Amino acid sequence: MSESIAKVPHDESLEHGLLGWVGTIDHKRIGILYLVTTLGFFLIGGVEALLIRIQLARPENNFLSPEVYNQIFTMHGTTMIFLVVMPALIGFANYFIPLMIGARDMAFPRLNAMSYWLLLFGGLLLHFSLVAGGAPSAGWFTYAPLSETPFSSTKGTDYWVLALLVMGVGSVASAINIIATVLTLRAPGLTIRRLPLFVWMVFVNSILIILAMPALNASIVMLLIDRQLDAHFFLPANGGSALIWQHFFWTFGHPEVYIMALPAFGMISEVIPVFSRKPIFGYEFVAASTVAISILSFGVWAHHMFAVGLGYQGNLFFAASSMLIAIPTGVKIFNWIATMWGGSIRFTTAMLFAMAFLVEFVIGGLSGVMFAVAPIDWALTDSYFVVAHFHYVLFGGTLFAMMAGTYYWFPKMSGRMLSEKWGRVQFLLLLVGFNMTFFVQHFLGMMGMPRRVFTYPDLPYWGALNMISTVGAFIMGAGMLVLVGNIVMSLLRGERAGDNPWNAWTLEWATTSPPPEHNFDRVPPVQGRRPLWDLANPDKADWKFKKVEGGDPSFGKNRTCMFSFLVSEAVFFIMLILSYLYFNSGKFGGPTASSSLDAFKTGIYTICLLASSFTIWLAEKYHHRKQFAAFRGWLVVTILLGVVFMAGQGAEYVGLFDRGITVSTNLFATSFFTLTGFHGLHVCVGLVALAILLGLAMARDGAKMIAPALGTIGLYWHFVDVVWIVVFSVVYLKILS
Amino acid sequence: MTTHQFLTSAWEANPLVIALCVVVLVIYGWRIRFSARSGFLIAGLVLSALVLVSPVDALANGYLFSAHMLQHLVLLLVVPPLILLSLGGSSVVKRLAGRAISPMAILTCWLAGLGAMWIWHVPSLCSAATQSPAIHRVQYVSLLAMGTMFWWPILAPRREQRISPFAGIAYLFSACLGCTVLGIILTFAPLGACPAYLSPSDRLGILALIRDGWGFTPEKDQQLGGLLMWVPACMVYLAGIISQLVRWYGESAEEPGEVPIRVLLERMS
């Protein structure tokens, strides 16, 4: 642990005032940057929501034209999901995970900063579309073929894709950082089984992020290729499949909604015990059910596609698994209730929001389970019932939980207490406004009002219910303005908070509010799950009643980082390989793998690439033995072999272009170029990394200096080779046709 | 033939299978002795016998791809863990030499489990196994053997040879992913994942029953086979992961005055 303390650089930005915030790598400042930015985007998304509600307040309204309306609801959804909820949760995680595990900073502080700036610039890129021809207007999940060029001719969708790619890199980087931090930087005594539940849930969530984001990346990259390079992945008219977009997107999309829920569950698991003055009931159940939810979340995505014609059997299996996933969530709800039972409850604003969360999330969850029953889904899909469902889980659930987290942790972040009085005002406004807005939408949905319509006819009660919904939305808006005011006033004149205003038990409360740059002067001893309780009550310490022991395996920071990254890339390649298999099964016209590819020639280049795996292993071996000349030699050979492979690929590409086979020729060509192209890109990145290593190793003590990086880059290189083995077998040897 | 007639008449008491079950029972009773944990063995043997002599087997022999899938999933994913569970902790096993399992061995076991699935779904091999009884027997034996190898790092009779629960979760999750990808491919692949099932030879005279009575077209059949490998198989891995989590958390928590959960778990498995 001490070696990591020594290695984190001193954040010099702290000496430069406001400008210092731009260059900061301190996780606390980055966390605050995230939270302030997401608050800003929240206000933008909220204005978009109010515009929607104004347009829908009366039947046959003409406040917004249909084209503008489409752009606004697309931006509202995209903003709220990718620019508010996800980054805000990551912001809280950034600030509090190092504190809660007794660490000095995140495992990779500069990577952390990069993730934040990618978020900001991704968001700006998305909004730039407004002045560059029009915002995206095909809905937040941009179904094909609506999102393809013939039907979405402005550049909005392209901006959407590029912005999401930029932000996606940031999210995956944050997730990798969190995984490495939690696995390698815990204070002594803080074993994995003693982790605060917020940390555990964000950790599991990060694994979910690295597994799910690549599915999104694969989908939107394919969409971009369609739009910009005239390909036809998703255009049925030319042999593509709009259905594949749905499958690929929802493979990301369903885990995404759990990505937005799990950290919120973590916050609730911190707030409820503290304000019930009882430890969480059934820690192991809450922790294990988190894992169950994550795994199951990958097996239910087709419940977004019940109305698309998967067939009776497909619907049946996905209905069953979707109903199953309600069980672990239910386990959590019962544990939180049991925590409150018999506790001595303090009705602070944070606790009020947490209790409201329980009710609202259960309502949202129940409407969700209703959708698991396929025939109900057929009646209610794409109606306002769905809109009501996801707002209940995302706003009534996640956002309320974030409010609880805000009121709980604001004192720690700023050193000031938020006004409880105004907190209650906000809570009431939000509670009333939220339910007013969205409860009536259940009825509207059941009465048949479709979602994403810019207006509706004057059917009985539709106008009245919509008006109620609109008024509720404005009440919610007022509530959020109260929060902003509360934050500003509290920063200026709020009551000073001590180290531990709530008498809580986890490590972040064992330092000043706000914490100093180095977080802790001294980390308290950790022998259980509530270190501060044990410290304050030595005779009633948790570990006297129940020991939580367990050695944990030890992890290296670099290895963990690279491993997580490679897992993420593996999913990306699996998606591209699956799309290749899909588009190359069955008969179609034009060039095919058999007619246009030379497996023998490529086989030779393949042998070169595989040999390079062997040579880099040799290089590592000699480096280990301190025979640096041999090490450098084998590194050069590795690079050369990689270059030969790329040259071969290049020659093959040129040959194909000469014969008129380009990305847009037919689906074989498109999927071939996409798959091998991305692999080639990864090889090039690897070559650049190896060249940098070589360059550094040429310096006098360079070879010793690069030791930590060598094994890590070697892992990456082996991965690239393994992917090629699979790609070669599938594309050139056609083993799965 | 009606469904009822089929279900009552299509049992084929394969003497080899019955004999093997008896032999296994006898060896177990003699060397390891019966105890509460033998329930696992009985369950395992009953399941394998069922899947090999019941109408499921009749259907799997050339009629329904999905029935063959069910058979394989049971033999690969359900029976081996049951057999391993029945061996744990017994005095005979304790006497055998055992060291901690090496990373290479873990990888081999993982590849065995996944390999068994993927190899037998190469279309030509799948058809060959359906059409040739000899290859079919090789297939059965390989599934049981490779299944046992796969589950060894998780459920090895000697606790020292089991990997840590944390690693067990990663092991099972990655295997689940591999199984799921194959299931997805089979569900959405065009007809012909296992060509032998496309036009079965109607030895038992039940083709009409299957196609018209039960509505099983070849497309639906292949889709169901893929779905079985995709969703229920995942549940088996998930159950394994949950049991690893239970073991992991149970291992760590001890309340003074009570029998440590760790010891309880040890006695159970």
Shortest distance between the Cα of B151 and any Cα of chain A, in A, equals 19
Residue-level pLDDT at B16: 83
Asked whether A524 and A532 are in contact (CB, 8 A), the reply is yes
Query: To probe the interface with A, which of B120, B177, B216 has the most A CB atoms within 10 Å?
Result: B177
Alpha carbons within 13 angstroms on the beta-carbon side of residue A294 total 28
**Looking at the partner chain, which of B169, B176, B185 has a beta carbon nearest the beta carbon of A581?**
B185
How many CB atoms are located within 10 Å of the residue B63 CB? 24
Task: Check residue A121 and give its pLDDT.
Answer: 96
Contacts of B3 (CB under 8 A, 6+ apart): B209, B213, B214
Residue B12 belongs to some domain of the structure: yes
Q: Do A295 and B176 touch (CB under 8 A)?
A: yes
- Give the pLDDT of residue A255: 95
Direct distance between the N- and C-terminal alpha carbons of chain B, in angstroms, rounded to an integer: 46
pLDDT band, very low/low/confident/very high, at A2 (cuts 50, 70, 90)? very low
Rounded (10°) CA dihedral A694, A695, A696, A701: 90
Are the Cβ atoms of B246 and A288 closer than 8 angstroms?
yes
Q: Please tell me the distance from the alpha carbon of residue A408 to that of residue A270, in angstroms, as a whole number.
A: 9
Q: Tell me the residues of A at the B interface, defined by beta carbons under 8 Å apart.
A: 191-193, 284, 287-288, 291-292, 295-296, 298-299, 311, 313-314, 317-318, 320-321, 545-550, 552-553, 574, 578, 581-582, 585-586, 735-736
What's residue A360's pLDDT? 97
Please indicate, yes or no, if residue B44 is contained in any of the structural domains.
yes
**Which residue, B90, B85, B150, is CA-closest to B115?**
B150
**Would you call B180 and A299 a contact, using CB atoms and an 8 Å cutoff?**
yes
Cα Rg, chain B, nearest whole Å? 20
What is the C-alpha end-to-end distance of chain A, expressed in Å? Answer: 51
A503 within 8 A of A274, measured Cβ to Cβ: yes
Structure tokens given for A332: 């959590």
- CB atoms near residue A188 (< 10 Å): 11
- CB within 8 A of A724, min separation 6: which ones? A606, A609, A610, A679
Distance between CA atoms of residues A51 and A70, nearest Å: 11
Helix axes of A400-414 and A242-276: crossing angle, nearest 10 degrees: 60
Structure tokens at B225: 């086979």
pLDDT at B27: 84
**Which residues are within 8 A (CB) of A615 and not within 5 positions of it... i.e. 6 or more apart?**
A634, A637, A638, A641
CA B123 → CA B111, B189, B195, B198, B216, distances in Å? 20, 12, 7, 12, 20
pLDDT at B89: 62
Shortest CA gap A3–chain B (Å):
25
Which residue on chain A is closest to B164 by alpha carbon? A553
Residue B216: per-residue pLDDT: 83
Domains and CATH numbers, chain A: 2-14+23-545 (1.20.210.10), 593-732 (1.20.120.80)
Residue B2 domain-assigned (yes or no): no
Q: Flag the least confident range among A244-248, A513-517, B111-115, B245-249.
A: B245-249
Q: Which helix (H) or strand (E) holds A690?
A: helix A667-698
CA distance B227 to chain A (A): 7
Which chain B residues are within 8 Å of A328, Cβ to Cβ? none
Q: Does B138 fall in a domain? A: yes
Query: What percentage of residues in chain A have a pLDDT greater than 70?
Result: 98
pLDDT at A504 over 90: yes
Closest to A313 (Cβ–Cβ): which among B224, B250, B252? B224
A64 to chain B, closest Cα gap in Å: 42
Q: What pLDDT is stored for residue B5 in this prediction?
A: 80
Name the amino acid, one letter, at A602. T
Number of domains in chain B: 1
Q: A195, A291, A293, A718: which to substitute to probe chain B, counting the most B Cβ within 10 Å?
A: A291
Mean pLDDT over each residue of chain A, to the nearest integer: 92
Domain, as residue range, for B14? 8-268
Tell whether B3 is covered by a domain.
no
Instruction: Give dist(CA A337, CA A281) in Å, integer.
Output: 9
Query: Mean pLDDT across the stretch A432-461?
Result: 95
- The rounded radius of gyration (Å) of the Cα atoms in chain A is 27
- Residues of B in CB contact (< 8 Å) with A are 122, 164, 166-167, 169, 173, 176, 180-181, 184-185, 187-190, 220, 223-224, 227, 230-231, 234, 238, 241-242, 245-246, 248-256
pTM confidence score: 0.91
pLDDT for A202-220, tens place per residue?
A: 999 999 999 999 999 999 9
pLDDT at position A14, please? 62
Identify the pLDDT of residue A704: 79
**At residue B253, what are phi and psi to the nearest 5 degrees?**
-100, 130
Q: Give strand pairing partners of B253.
A: A548
The predicted pLDDT at position B97 comes to 54
**CA separation for the pair B122, B131 (Å, rounded):** 14
Contact, A160 vs A133, CB < 8 A? no
Is the distance from CB of A255 to CB of A297 less than 8 angstroms? yes
Which tokens is B204 given? 């038992």
Which residues 6+ apart lie within 8 Å of B259 measured at CB? none
Is B1 among the domain residues? no
A326-340 average pLDDT score: 95
Phi, psi of A735 (to 5 degrees): -75, -15
Name which residue leads in pLDDT, B61 or A100: A100
Segments of chain B with pLDDT less than 70: 89-99, 252-269
- Once rounded to an integer, what is the mean pLDDT over residues A158-170? 95
Tell me which chain B residue has its CA closest to the CA of residue A325: B235
- CB distance B240 to B172 below 8 Å: yes
Contacts of B250 in chain A (CB under 8 A): 284
pLDDT at A3: 40
